[in-house]
Structure 1
Amino acid sequence: MTDPRAGERARQATRHRPPGPPRQRRPHDDGGGPPGHGGPEPTGGGRAAARKAARAKDKGRRRAKPLPRYKRVVRAVLMVVSALVLIVAGGGAWLYEHLSGNIHSVAIDGAGSKEKADSFGRTPINILAIGSDGRNSASDCKLGGGCGSGTSTAGHNADVEMVVHISADRSNATVMSIPRDTMTQVPACKNTDGGPSTPGYQGQINSALQYGPACQVSTVHQLTGIPIDHFVMLDFSGVVKMSDAVGGVSVCVSDNVYDTYSHLKLAKGQHTLKGDAALEFVRTRHGLGDGSDLGRTYAQHIFLSAMIRKFKSAGTLSDPPKVYSLANSATKAMTVDTGLNSIGKLIGLADDLNKVPTKRLTFTTMQTGASPTDANRVIPAPGATALFSAIADDKPLTASDGKKTSAGEKPSSGSKTDTKPSPSASVPPADVSVEVENGTSTSGRAAALQSALAGKGFATGSSGNAEAPQARTTLAYGPGEKAAAQTAASALGLPSSHLTSSDSSGLVLTVGSDWPSGDTFPGGSGSGSPAADAQAAVSGAHAESADDSKACASVSQDKTVEINGVPMTPSQAYAASTNKKDSAP
């Protein structure tokens, strides 16, 4: 990856170069240039005579052989390189401190668990990318909505939530969007950023940010089971600055569109978005897809894919001024966890992501279903379990050629083959007792699964209700009881990513809303092979590759917007608003 500091360091050194000693005049420099360039021509006396006498005096002496031209060039190059090293080192300290000083960081204290190393000792990276709806700065306030002050996230929601997974072998990556109106259990959180805390509640997932980034990380981890130990949060103005820094981002819309809520107005076709237009595109929800938050996540994937392709294109990452401008804009607009709180760490992260070919970077959206308590909200669909497990278990969603994987395809090097418990670690079912707790709204789920376990030869266990509703099914096990938990998980078709360790002895199966019915966990076979393959993981997840430059955002065909109280489609609104300037040419 090109060092974004090099160009600036060189310029800094040039601006602050101390004055050197006066240049020594050569014998023929009497206030003019060399012969033929404005200086005096040599004559028969004076200095010319002195030079002739000197040559006569040295006659007979062996003159030193001049260095060959290539050696003179090499010596000159080495001198220049040495000088550049000093220049870069001098400017680098200033630049490093400047960019690192832009970054605001918050401790998350392991709120999202830790990633597991693969069999080669390599560790995947899982990051929660958050787009805050906070408007604390003057630049954010100018972009619309309410204005606040300070750096706290109190009162803020997560407009965007994406789990970014980079595989242990850096051969592939997955970005999974979680719709902001997903209903889930927010755990008890103590704000590490000085804001309010919560004892926990059932609510919309994006509201967890009000209790700090660590609470948002913990909530996503509890919902998905994906280990997350980093987060990056960007505010509204950051999107604007970054799109400007790369010279604009090229996107396509399938039809004329005017979202009267986000103010996005574009004619059908391709556009290069900068500034406010870029923000309007990534925020629009009424103009694209079905007019819900799902349509917005699809548009965001198109935008980010185009931005990534722009990053990797010739002339962007190889242009130091552009890289510096991008880095300066991004670091001013972001908040990260303390594990990413320096420009060196962020450059390392960017380098890891840059190793992944765009054809092996897959954008997905968590599969959803309607919430049973609110038709305008969603919960994870049963199929989401396969996607969560694929990410948690570091399984690629594309083959090495960039195509979607299918059932039975061999994973890439460095990925685990499946989540099946190790046969060597098995414990006979008769020696395993499981306490089952019902965390769903369906009466009798715990008793039904306890009966199913008994029918599979497990020892009798107790059943009852969980303390609070649970969105995700978990199987907790005490010290030294992992093998017993794997036996139970295998019998129920529960992926290993749903197993959690506990300080208390015994096995406790807490049934979540992701398992509403049946004796076998959705996506599992119940025959000892609970792993969901990549094909199941991307089913219904609107999976797209980052190298798909022909992807076009689908404009909603429903009457999702209105003008003067009259409902209409985004295309009708475009036609009716000739006096409204387009967001981009």
Structure 2
Amino acid sequence: MSVLVLIVAGLGTWLYNRFSGNLHTVHLGGDTRHSLGQEKADAFGRTPIDILVIGTDARNTQQDCNLGGDCNMGGGYGNADVEMLVHVSADRSNATVMSIPRDTIVDVPACTDPANSANRTGGYRGMINSALNYGAQCQMETIHQLTGIPISHFMMMTFSGVVSMSDAVGGVNVCVDDNVYDTYSHLKLAKGTHNLKGVAALEFVRSRHAFGDGGDLGRLAAQHMYLSAMMRSMRGAGTLTDPARLFDLADSATKALTVDSGLGSVTSLLGLANDVAKVPTDRITFTTMQTETDPANADRLIVGPDASALFAAIANDQSLTSPGGGTVSPSASPGAVAAGSASPSASASPSATATGSGSDAVAAGRIDVRVENASGTQGRATELADALTAKGFGTGTTAVTSPTTTQTTQLRYAPGDQTAAHAVATALGLPDSTLSESSSVSGVTLVIGADWPSGTFFPGASGKPSPADTQQALNGAGARTANDTTGCAPVSTYQTVELNGVPMTPSQAYAAAPTTPDSAP
């Protein structure tokens, strides 16, 4: 994404036909306003931009087979092992990049590949990255259902695309805080700073055993460091004023990308580049969706309760940086996500396990909501109950139709369940005025009124969603801005790798393999 933000700026229509011909384009199908949502304009008529950036593990060429260590020459989309939702604000003053861990278990909706109607699913519960098997649009629909954030476009890149782009950029400087050898991705680096090009760059961004606890969270934090460094390098190294480097960069980028038809031209990419280039690096926030360990499988994740505030902030077009730059959360350190959790089997961030604080915190998965449709619009209870369970609320959440109708939406909670009710209100954008304690209900009951006839985020009396708590939105999200140069990627201290059948830490593996060449000097 950092490449797309910058490489096309200044090109104009130079070599327009060549670069447009390089792009691989996929058409989205069906009613995308329903399946993917639609960004809302601000008071000045400006709309945000939301793009899903996908890194696929498909190995459909010999080059990708060689790089990936496996082969799938028969075709297929592969799995979305990198998923970053890029949100650019309506006024182009700030941007948020939210990574979604591939290990997250979610409900994949029923969807059909527009390019092949036989490639479809009736819906299932599984790893979020598997939705790409049914096409990029299915991956987009899965994330929209999970987050409620409208998604207009997608961009997808393979292993070989990452290699060609890193070479065209001229390398990216990254730092590791210890010697590291990931025997799976083959990343091998001595402690310190290195300029990564080509295959070395791919090894770094693919590595999930070198950092954190061996799960996906440490890898995402390292990717954020890499992309931040790439953006700083390209903006400060004169890349955009060097015609030869600019040509190589643009040629490599357009060849490496698969995009939706809305971005399938140099003109569209120029417009996007010009928009995103307006955002200063200190107002671009990298975050990771908050998660907690799946109680059914210690090697998988489920959505954490604080994620609902992060989703709401992005959907509301709220900045996660202060006007002067830097994240709004004082607890969002660069290594927060990379630190992972207490053990290799629990990949979740420990601060993202509850809503609230201290002994009053309530995990969303333990909150069952009774959803009553009193709006007079058919299907509303089911729609909102599904939205709540998709956001990680209890599987005991139920949908019923009220025999009467009411004008105003109400969120009622039993004595002692106020914190749980606030978690539901945050997830759905309900203002405090809709909450009330009632001894006649058990737990939390949402009564949908005629003032909420559509959508899964409450519009409010003014027609605008209630603001999300940005402090909560960044709680446990490992937020860092693109201009943050502090810290190195923390190498895992767990036995996440094996060498000659012996489990060991990545640093121990480095010492035990002196004859294996380093990935970069």
TM-score range, shorter chain: 0.7 to 0.9
Is the CA contact 2:212–2:491 (under 8 Å) kept in the aligned structure 1?
Answer: yes
Residue of structure 2 in register with 1:129 after alignment = 53
Answering whether residue 496 of structure 2 is matched by residue 560 of structure 1, we say: yes
Report the secondary structure of 1:219's partner residue. Answer: helix
Residue of structure 2 in register with 1:306 after alignment = 229
Residue of structure 2 in register with 1:231 after alignment = 154
Is the CA contact 1:406–1:533 (under 8 Å) kept in the aligned structure 2?
Answer: no
RMSD (Å), alpha carbons: 3.7
Q: Which runs of 5+ in 2 are unaligned?
A: 331-363, 375-379, 431-442, 447-456
Over 3 Å counting, the alpha-carbon distance change for 1:139 and 1:166 in structure 2 is same
Answering whether residue 389 of structure 2 is matched by residue 470 of structure 1, we say: yes
Over 3 Å counting, the alpha-carbon distance change for 1:485 and 1:315 in structure 2 is farther
Residue of structure 1 in register with 2:98 after alignment = 176
Answering whether residue 91 of structure 2 is matched by residue 193 of structure 1, we say: no
Answering whether residue 28 of structure 2 is matched by residue 108 of structure 1, we say: yes
Query: What's the CA shift string for 1:133-187, capped at 9, x where partnerless?
Result: 011122212203322347641xx10010000000001000000000001000000
Is the CA contact 1:495–1:531 (under 8 Å) kept in the aligned structure 2?
Answer: no
Query: What's the CA shift string for 1:81-114, capped at 9, x where partnerless?
Result: xxxxxxx98xx4xx21111111111122324211
Question: How much does 1:488 deviate?
Answer: 4.8
Report the secondary structure of 1:369's partner residue. Answer: strand
Question: How much does 1:467 deviate?
Answer: 8.4
Is the CA contact 2:312–2:429 (under 8 Å) kept in the aligned structure 1?
Answer: no
Answering whether residue 480 of structure 2 is matched by residue 544 of structure 1, we say: yes
Over 3 Å counting, the alpha-carbon distance change for 1:325 and 1:537 in structure 2 is same
Report the secondary structure of 1:271's partner residue. Answer: strand
Q: Residue 505 of structure 2: which of 569, 572, 580 is its match? A: 569
Over 3 Å counting, the alpha-carbon distance change for 1:169 and 1:463 in structure 2 is closer
The count of residues paired between Structure 1 and Structure 2 equals: 433
Over 3 Å counting, the alpha-carbon distance change for 1:476 and 1:302 in structure 2 is farther
Is the CA contact 1:157–1:206 (under 8 Å) kept in the aligned structure 2?
Answer: yes
Residue of structure 1 in register with 2:19 after alignment = 99
Question: How much does 1:188 deviate?
Answer: 0.5
Query: 2:508 is matched by which residue type in structure 1?
Result: Q
Residue of structure 1 in register with 2:440 after alignment = none
TM-score (norm 2): 0.75
Q: Which runs of 5+ in 1 are unaligned?
A: 8-87, 408-439, 455-460, 501-516
Residue of structure 1 in register with 2:242 after alignment = 319
Residue of structure 2 in register with 1:216 after alignment = 139
Report the secondary structure of 1:351's partner residue. Answer: helix
Residue of structure 2 in register with 1:390 after alignment = 313
Report the secondary structure of 1:197's partner residue. Answer: strand
What are the residue-to-residue correspondences of 1:392-431 with 2, within 5 Å?
A: 392-405=315-328
Distance 2:400 2:234 in 1: 45
Distance 1:176 1:342 in 2: 25
Relative contact order, higher structure (CA 8 A, sep 6+)? 2
Question: How much does 1:277 deviate?
Answer: 0.2
Distance 1:530 1:4 in 2: 37
TM-score (norm 1): 0.68
Answering whether residue 259 of structure 2 is matched by residue 336 of structure 1, we say: yes
Over 3 Å counting, the alpha-carbon distance change for 1:129 and 1:579 in structure 2 is same
Over 3 Å counting, the alpha-carbon distance change for 1:370 and 1:117 in structure 2 is same
Answering whether residue 93 of structure 2 is matched by residue 157 of structure 1, we say: no
Question: How much does 1:374 deviate?
Answer: 1.2
Query: What's the CA shift string for 1:380-409, capped at 9, x where partnerless?
Result: 1101111000100000011111132269xx
Query: 1:326 is matched by which residue type in structure 2?
Result: L
Larger CA Rg, structure 1 vs 2: 1
Query: 2:27 is matched by which residue type in structure 1?
Result: A
What are the residue-to-residue correspondences of 1:362-377 with 2, within 5 Å?
A: 362-377=285-300
Is the CA contact 1:259–1:284 (under 8 Å) kept in the aligned structure 2?
Answer: yes
Answering whether residue 515 of structure 2 is matched by residue 579 of structure 1, we say: yes
What are the residue-to-residue correspondences of 1:20-31 with 2, within 5 Å?
A: none
More strand per residue: 2
Is the CA contact 1:246–1:326 (under 8 Å) kept in the aligned structure 2?
Answer: yes
